[in-house]
Amino acid sequence: DSRTSYRSKAYSIARDMGIKSAERSIFLDNVQTKEAVSAQIARAVKVAKEKGKAIAIGHPSKATIATLAEIAPQILDEGVQLVFASAIVD
């Protein structure tokens, strides 16, 4: 569930039905600047370290792609593995 609406019920309904599901932890690019995306990535890394996983979603914008490309090696150095969301759905 992307949780782009505060009224979203997809995750809770899927869970109630016994369907494997997950929901977004962090939205990367509400503000599409390199600085804002970088701050959101840092939040996602923090959540992943605290909870063992995090799902970060965003758009394929120039700021998001450039920032992810630049920061990905640092994320890996911090011991956080980047995977598709489907790999951590339970």
pLDDT digits (tens, 9 = 90+) for 39-72: 999 999 999 999 999 999 999 999 999 999 999 9
The three-class DSSP label of residue 6 is coil
- CA distances to 28, 41, 48, 54 from 68, rounded to whole Å, are 10, 8, 16, 15
**Predicted TM-score (pTM) of this structure:** 0.85
pLDDT at position 60? 94
Give the pLDDT confidence score for residue 2 in this predicted structure: 78
